[in-house]
Chain A
């Protein structure tokens, strides 16, 4: 059991951190070139040069392109109209048709932005060329924004995801282990034997918590080492602070697991309930989707989500280098949560039925 507890989460960390990315890459791009001029070819060449697009083919017709999109062979289709070059020179204005597969709305939005950027870039060069031909006195005016990306200068997705995924793993393992635990003893009958001993309820719960607490801390340690070695995630803040917070956080999860365990009669029931909470906690944690964009009621629900707090704290400490006072409000909430959950765990454990 012990190897399973440690090996599986490590594999998950390595796999998920590489795979769970919202970066839109390798976009399957097709085009219909009705113009066949040097300008239209230059435009397609711009897409070819981009690392985001895999330029597939020149579709002979719109019908063919849409049938390919149905089959899922292409996601973005650019249609260059007849007389594209001629009209551009004459009218200094033209339209391009872009069709995007928007089943995944978020990805479609990003793809649209990429397409626009490339077309605009193409446009600017074109403008300069055209202006030079027609009117040299009018200078084009550009306004450019120069973004500074703080805390993750290179916009590395892994830097953002690895700490969050580590939180998930620590949470899932400790919740499942503790959730299965007392109920397992109910199933095999040892709990009854314990119940006829004079052991105190709090002693019993502490005895149950401690091993899993150690497992949780060990997982965090291994995860942090891997984050550094494999993903080169920075550790700007204090390691001591992160461990101090985690030690409280794990108590919340363990208390919750034991509470579940006390209320169920079989391991299946406990597993089902644990999964119910884990799925909600993960999806509402701000790990994959920002909490700020959730509806108001959902934002209130996330206040009760321990994973949300840990995700926030670990990102703050590791990536921003936040100190004790910065995470204090989150730490206090977590502490209160831990006291409540463990109080419930002790209360719900009944030696006498």
Chain B
């Protein structure tokens, strides 16, 4: 196995009864890459991602994430990945610090390391004043940034982001992508789904899913050339409309 390939997917399929949500997708993601996973609502992005992070069993196909097989070693994958869901999923009724401590603890970090990391993290996000406030009282943009930082707490090899910037303002989105770049520069692979086509341009490589299949996969530049489009938006529209 090539060590540079942190995600290898071959013919991965998920069926719900007769409905094929993900239809034999095949792709690879390299270490340190920012991989954009695009598709219309219902195209199967989230289902595909759930198989990769080990919370949904694939119907068939093969997938290897962070060096572990999704069928047999889902729990080992979980130790090596971070995940931020579409829905804000930190505990609203815990404070910022408590959330960090809790998730750090689950990943088996020592108290000392959690303390150090949470101080750094709170300082970076500028959350000093609200560190002891309930997370539920924070604005959405802050929550999302916190959520992303928490998913990076245990230095995962890969971080999966499911529409991380949904519903946040442009400035926060900008800051969010700066955080993504920073993580990527430090060697973390970023697997991100989004509906914002300008964000797609920030990715190293992009795949576009239509009706459960990956219809296009390349760098944004090459995709635009291939589909003879000025922006990723046009590429997406051409593909999604078939």
Contact = CB atoms under 8 A, between A and B. Distances in A.
Interface of A: 188-190, 192-199, 351-353
Contacts of B197: none
A351 B55 contact: yes
Given A198-B75, A198-B79, A189 B89 contact: yes
A205 to B, nearest CB: 14
Q: Which of B55, B56, B76, B79 has the most CB of A within 10 A?
A: B55
Contact of B55 (A190, A195, A198, A199): A195
A190 B83 CA distance: 12
Contacts of B55: 192, 195-196, 351-353
A120 to B, nearest CB: 66
Given A189-B87, A190-B89, A198-B106, A352 B81 contact: no
B97 interface: no
Nearest to B105: A199
Contact of A196 (B53, B76, B90, B92): B53
Interface of B: 53-57, 74-76, 78-79, 81, 83, 85, 87-92, 103, 106-108, 160
B147 to A, nearest CB: 9
Given A196-B78, A198-B79, A352 B54 contact: yes
B60 to A, nearest CB: 16
Contact of A190 (B53, B91, B107): B91
A197 B89 contact: no
Contact of B56 (A194, A197, A199, A353): A353
A197 B89 CA distance: 13
A352 B74 contact: yes
12 contacts: A188-B87, A188-B92, A189-B87, A192-B85, A192-B87, A193-B83, A193-B90, A195-B55, A196-B78, A196-B160, A351-B55, A353-B55
A196 B81 contact: yes
Given A196-B54, A198-B78, A198-B79, A189 B107 contact: no
B78 A197 contact: yes
Nearest first, the 5 A-B pairs at minimum CB distance are A193-B89, A189-B87, A196-B83, A198-B78, A198-B79
Contacts of A196: 53-55, 78, 81, 83, 160
Contacts of B108: 198
A188 B89 CA distance: 7
A192 B107 CA distance: 15
Nearest to A192: B85
A315 B55 CA distance: 47
A289 B91 CA distance: 45
B106 A197 contact: yes
Nearest to A204: B106
A198 B156 CA distance: 12
A345 B160 CA distance: 29
Contacts of B54: 196, 351-352
Contacts of A195: 55
Contact of B107 (A188, A198, A352): A198
Nearest to A207: B106
A197 B88 contact: no
Nearest to B103: A197
A220 B103 CA distance: 33
Contacts of B103: 197
Contact of A352 (B57, B87, B92): B57
A351 B81 CA distance: 15
A195 to B, nearest CB: 5
Nearest to A1: B93
A195 B81 CA distance: 12
A293 to B, nearest CB: 47
B57 A190 contact: no
Given A188-B92, A189-B87, A192-B87, 13 more contacts: A190-B89, A192-B55, A192-B85, A194-B106, A195-B55, A196-B81, A196-B160, A197-B103, A198-B76, A198-B79, A198-B107, A353-B55, A353-B56
A287 B237 CA distance: 68
Contacts of A199: 106
A190 B55 CA distance: 13
Contact of A192 (B89, B92, B106): B89
